[in-house]
C-alpha cells in the first residue's frame, strides 16, 4: 500500500555506502559490477528524518528521486543536488533518497544512452536505454545491472518515486503519469508542472521489464516522471522550477512541514491546479508550403484564436506569412522540428516541409 515505508526511522537507513541515522544526511555510492569485471559507482544522498510526534516508526514516506537516466538530460542533476544538500534532516518526517546521475555510463558517453552512435535515434536500440530495463538483472547487460543495483538498494525501499527527465527545448515542461493510478496522479499534480496523463494501462505495463515509473506502480508505489524543457545543458529557469516542484512534493507527502506563510502559499498553489491532458487532445498546426519557421511564442504560452504563432519564410520567394492559432489554447510545442530532434542535428533545423507541423496546441476547451 502506498504510504508505508519498509525501513523504520528509529534505525539507520542505508543505500549503498550512504548510511544515515535519524536526523542525519549521508552521502555515498551504489556500486555496480559490470560484466567485464569493472565497476561503476552511482552517487547518492540519504536524508533520513525523525519520526513525527505520534507517528509510529516505519509509517513515514520514503521518496526516491533521481535524474539523468539519459546522458543528455542534465537539468535534473542540479535539482537533485540543491534539494539534497539544502533539506534539513532534523525537520524531515520521512526519508529522501536522492540520486543526481542514475546512469553514469550514458552521462560519460555524453549521449542519450551508453554506446549510442552519432546521429542514431535513441529509440533505435531500446535495449541500451536504462528506462526500458527496470527492475534489471544482476547478471545482465550494463544497463540491466545498473537498474538492478538501484532497484534493490534504493527504489525497493521507497513509497514514492520521481524520475526526472528533460526533453527537447521546443516543448512545454510536463510530468508524464499513468493517471489511472490515483496516487501517482496526485503525486504528479503536486509537482506543479503540466500533467501529461495516460488514462488507460497499455500492454507494455505487463512486460517483465520496463520503465521505472511503470515498474514502481506495479510494486505498489506512487510514481511519475517530471520532464523539464531543454537537453544538452543545465537551464537555470528549469532548475528553479524543479527545485520548487520537488519541495512541493516533500510538503505534499508530509516529509516537510508547512510553516504559517508557506501554508497559505501552498493552498493558493493548489487552488490553481496545473493543466491535466492527454496527447490525444492536442491540435497540430501545419503549413501548406515549405519554409523556415520563426516562432513568435514560447512553450506554455496562452494564445487566442487568430494569434500569430510564428512566421513562415518561403524558400522560393523568401516572403513571410503569419501562421495563426486555430483555437484558444496553451502552446505545448512550437517549432518546425522532426523526429529525432532530441538527439540528431538535421531534425533540429527550423525548416518545415509542405504539410509539416510547426506547433502543437492544447485547446482551452479541453481544460
Same domain, yes or no: 356 and 322 = yes
| Angular region, 192: left φ>0, alpha ψ -120 to 50, beta rest | left
Q: Domain check: are 200 and 264 in the same one?
A: yes
Residue 6 covered by a domain:
no
Domain stops at, among 254, 277, 300:
277
Regarding predicted confidence, which is higher, 50 or 151?
151
Neighbouring C-alpha atoms within 13 Å toward the C-beta of 237:
5
Q: Higher pLDDT residue, 141 or 204?
A: 141
d(CA 286, CA 323): 9
DSSP state of 256: S
Distance CA 138, CA 32 (A): 9
Question: H or E stretch including 313?
Answer: strand 308-314
Q: 125 — alpha (psi -120 to 50), left (phi > 0) or beta?
A: beta
Task: Select from 256, 277, 298 the last residue of a domain.
Answer: 277
pLDDT at 5: 43
Please indicate, yes or no, whether residues 77 and 179 belong to a single structural domain of this protein.
Answer: yes
Which range marks the domain in which residue 239 is found? 13-277
> Tens digit of pLDDT for each residue in 81-104?
999 999 999 999 999 999 999 999
Q: What is the pLDDT of residues 44-69, one digit of tens each?
A: 999 999 865 445 555 689 999 999 99
User: What is the per-residue burial (b if ≥16 Cβ within 10 Å, else e) of 209-234?
Assistant: bbbbbbbbbeeebbbbbbbbbbbeee
Q: What is the CATH number of the domain that holds 137?
A: 3.40.630.10
What the block records as the C-alpha cell of 188 is 504528479
Whether 157 is in a domain gets the answer yes
Please give the pLDDT value at position 50.
Answer: 81
CATH of the domain at 357: 2.40.50.100
Q: What's the pLDDT score for residue 3?
A: 43
Exposed/middle/buried for residue 312 (C-beta within 10 Å: 0-12, 13-18, 19+): buried
How many alpha carbons fall within 13 Å on the CB side of residue 232?
Answer: 7
CB 255 within 8 A of CB 93: yes
Residues β-bridged to residue 28: 44
Q: Torsions phi, psi of 348, nearest 5?
A: -80, -15
Average pLDDT over residues 123-141: 91
pTM: 0.91
> Is 286 found in the same domain as 351?
yes
Q: pLDDT tens across 255-280, in order?
A: 999 865 555 555 555 557 899 999 99
Contacts of 56 (CB under 8 A, 6+ apart): none
Tell me if 267 is assigned to some domain: yes
Query: Per the domain annotation, does 75 fall within a domain?
Result: yes
Residue 32 and residue 16: Cα distance in Å, rounded? 10
> What's the total number of domains in the chain?
2
**Strand intervals (E) in 264-307:** 276-277, 283-286, 291-295, 302-303
What's the rounded Cα separation, in Å, for the pair 325 and 308? Answer: 6
Indicate whether 230 and 117 sit together in one domain: yes
Tell me what pLDDT residue 120 has.
Answer: 81
Q: Could you say which of 225, 260, 277 is where a domain stops?
A: 277
Amino acid 8: pLDDT: 46
Please report whether residue 3 resides in a domain.
no
Amino acid at each position: 500500500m502506498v504510504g508505508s515505508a519498509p525501513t523504520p526511522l528509529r534505525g539507520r537507513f542505508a543505500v549503498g555506502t550512504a548510511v544515515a541515522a535519524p536526523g542525519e544526511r549521508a552521502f555515498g555510492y551504489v556500486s555496480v559490477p559490470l560484466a567485464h569485471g569493472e565497476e561503476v559507482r552511482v552517487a547518492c544522498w540519504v536524508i533520513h528524518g525523525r519520526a513525527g510526534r505520534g507517528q509510529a516508526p516505519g509509517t513515514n514516506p520514503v521518496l526516491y528521486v533521481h535524474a539523468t537516466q539519459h546522458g543528455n538530460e542534465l537539468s535534473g542533476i542540479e535539482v537533485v543536488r540543491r534539494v539534497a544538500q539544502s533539506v534539513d534532516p532534523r525537520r524531515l518526517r520521512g526519508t529522501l533518497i536522492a540520486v543526481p546521475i542514475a546512469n553514469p555510463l550514458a552521462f560519460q558517453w555524453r549521449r542519450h544512452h551508453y554506446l549510442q552512435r552519432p546521429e542514431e535515434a535513441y529509440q533505435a536500440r531500446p535495449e541500451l536505454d536504462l528506462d526500458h530495463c527496470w527492475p534489471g538483472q544482476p547478471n545482465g547487460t550494463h544497463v540491466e545491472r545498473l537498474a538492478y543495483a538501484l532497484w534493490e538498494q534504493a527504489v525497493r525501499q521507497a513509497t514514492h518515486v520521481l524520475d526526472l527527465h528533460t526533453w527537447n527545448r521546443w516543448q512545454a515542461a510536463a510530468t508524464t503519469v499513468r493517471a489511472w493510478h490515483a496516487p501517482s496522479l496526485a503525486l504528479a499534480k503536486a509537482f506543479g508542472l503540466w500533467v501529461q496523463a495516460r488514462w488507460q494501462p497499455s500492454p507494455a505495463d505487463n512486460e517483465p521489464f520496463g520503465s521505472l515509473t511503470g515498474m514502481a506502480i506495479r510494486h505498489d508505489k506512487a510514481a511519475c516522471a517530471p520532464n523539464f524543457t531543454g537537453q544538452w545543458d543545465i537551464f537555470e529557469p528549469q532548475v528553479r522550477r524543479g527545485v520548487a516542484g520537488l519541495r512541493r512534493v516533500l510538503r505534499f507527502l508530509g516529509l516537510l512541514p508547512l510553516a504559517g506563510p508557506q501554508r497559505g502559499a501552498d493552498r493558493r498553489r493548489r487552488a490553481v491546479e496545473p493543466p491535466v491532458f492527454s496527447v490525444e487532445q492536442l491540435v497540430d498546426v501545419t503549413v501548406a508550403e515549405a519554409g523556415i519557421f520563426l516562432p513568435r511564442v514560447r512553450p506554455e504560452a496562452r494564445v487566442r484564436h487568430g494569434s500569430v504563432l510564428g512566421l513562415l519564410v518561403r524558400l522560393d520567394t523568401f516572403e513571410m506569412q503569419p501562421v495563426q492559432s486555430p483555437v484558444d489554447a496553451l502552446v505545448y510545442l512550437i517549432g518546425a522540428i522532426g523526429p529525432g530532434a532530441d538527439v540528431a542535428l538535421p531534425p533540429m533545423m527550423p525548416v518545415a516541409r509542405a504539410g509539416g507541423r510547426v506547433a502543437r496546441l492544447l485547446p482551452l476547451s479541453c481544460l
